[in-house]
Chains A and B, each alone.
Chain A
Amino acid sequence: MRKNRFYLSLIIILTMIGQINAKKMENTSEHKGYKIGDAATDFKLKNVDNKMVSLSDYKNAKGYIVIFTCNHCPYAKAYQDRIIALNNKYAAKGYPVIAINPNDPKLVPDDSFEAMQVRAKEKGFTFPYLFDDGQKIFPQYGATKTPHVYVLQKEKGKNIVRYIGAIDDNYANANDVSHKYVETAVDDLLAGKPIAQTTTLAIGCSIKAE
């Protein structure tokens, strides 16, 4: 009898612990995707030139400026020239821009692969502009909007997330920018210094996926 009661209490206690843990899991699941210091996944996505591109193709890169962006969003459009400038400045220093369109063209026809090819040609993109076919990569990164930047640094064969956020602090006017967040972050990495501001927030177009 006493033994039974002991087991019953044990079961109750274990269930309670289980519930506490379950609750903890719920809380953390609110922030999906990568945090600073996480290792980011590589991918194999189709570029506008019909060739497949992976991060691992860039043997000499020190890291990457991965930008989730698209054709239709006014914020993404406002940053097109600045994204080209980022690649032109940092690809040679070891941090090429890799742009990924995360939107489902069924929901946003302007973001179809064919429309991406047209845009890349019109603007003369100097970096790969990849199509997240099936919208499988952006949820792993935790991107929610366009543009949404992830600066990765190669370290012992892994791609470590060092910066998440906006390109700079003024989407509307490139001539009135006070903080070039991505440039500062990459400059810090190149100088071997810790990044002062590792995350920033900006308004963007929500990523459209089913």
Chain B
Amino acid sequence: MRKLFILIMAAISLTGFAKTNEKKTTGTNQKHMLKSVNFDELKTIIHKNDNKLYVVNFWATWCKPCVEELPGFMEVNKNYSKDPRFKMVLVSLDLASEMDTKVKAFLLKNNIDVDVYILDDNKRMNEWIPAVDAKWTGAIPATILYRNGKRLEFKEGRLQKNELEQIINKHL
């Protein structure tokens, strides 16, 4: 009976990233979110009034500079995530239809251990790009820092690990 329980737990952990709203654990025993949202839903996630510093990175699996900067982001997250005032969120611009295939495989392969939301709101890009920041041309990667819904930093283009640490330290 106990063996069966362990087997079931192992099977659940192997399925990796959660498909829907619920958080599930992966093989590395860390909690992740993988969910597709529209821009209004995304706002409620990254504009929380909880005094946390939100580091929000817009990226996609097909975006080379995005993929190249992610290991640095994960290192930074490892160092800062113990701080209850810090939270990193990735916003993917991959197709929502590829969430359970391409995106999920990428996250597992690259040990992405932060919440990932697929922004599935293609037809309103012309509304939400300027809403994120007036300076954003729509090129990715782009990184924004928020606290209590207030935008503190906006960076379009690739960030090195030390650059990211610098802008986080400025606001943490």
Please list the residues of chain A having a beta carbon within 8 angstroms of any beta carbon in chain B: 30-31, 73-74, 108, 144-145, 165-166, 169-173, 176, 178, 200-208
The residues in B between 78 and 97 inclusive whose CB is less than 8 angstroms from any CB of A are 93, 95
* Chain B interface, >50% SS class: mixed
Taking the closest CB of chain B, its distance from the CB of A83, in whole angstroms, is: 18
Flag if A145 contacts B138 (CB, 8 Å): yes
B144–chain A nearest beta-carbon distance, Å: 14
9-residue interface stretch from B25-33, B48-56, B62-70, B164-172:
B62-70
Residues of A within 8 A of B63 (CB): 205-206
Contact of B137 among A73, A145, A172 (CB under 8 A): A145
CA distance A54 to B168 in the complex (A): 47
Find residues 101-141 in chain B having any chain A CB closer than 8 Å to their own CB. 122-126, 129-130, 135-141
* Interchain CB contact under 8 A, B95 and A144: no
- Measured CB to CB, the residues of B under 8 A from A are 58, 62-65, 93, 95, 122-126, 129-130, 135-141, 156-157
Chain B CB within 10 A, most for which of A169, A207, A208: A169
Which of chain A's residues have a CB closer than 8 A to the CB of B157? 206
Is the CB–CB distance between B123 and A200 below 8 Å? no
| Complex A-B: 29 CB contacts under 8 Å | A30-B135, A144-B138, A144-B139, A145-B137, A145-B138, A165-B126, A166-B126, A166-B138, A169-B122, A169-B123, A169-B125, A170-B122, A171-B122, A172-B122, A173-B122, A178-B123, A201-B129, A202-B126, A203-B58, A203-B93, A203-B140, A204-B138, A204-B140, A205-B62, A205-B63, A206-B140, A206-B141, A206-B157, A208-B65
Q: Which residues does chain A contribute within 8 Å of B141, judged by CB atoms?
A: 206
Number of A-B contacts (CB under 8 A): 64
Closest chain A residue to B125, Cβ basis: A202
The answer to whether A108 and B64 have CB atoms under 8 Å apart is yes
In the complex, chain B residues whose CB is within 8 Å of the CB of A74? 62
Let me know if B123 and A176 touch, CB within 8 A.
Answer: yes
CB distance from A177 to the nearest CB of B (A): 8
Report chain B residues within 8 Å CB of A30: 135
Which has the most chain B C-beta neighbours within 10 Å: A171, A176, A201, A203? A203
Beyond A166-B126, A172-B95, A206-B157, 10 additional pairs, beta carbon < 8 A: A165-B126, A178-B123, A201-B136, A201-B137, A202-B125, A203-B125, A205-B62, A206-B63, A206-B65, A206-B140
Query: Which residues of A have CB within 8 Å of B135?
Result: 30-31
A206, B139: Cβ atoms under 8 Å? Answer: yes
Are A201 and B139 in touch, CB under 8 angstroms? no
A205 touches B139 (CB 8 A): yes
Q: Which residues of A contact B129 (CB under 8 A)?
A: 201-203
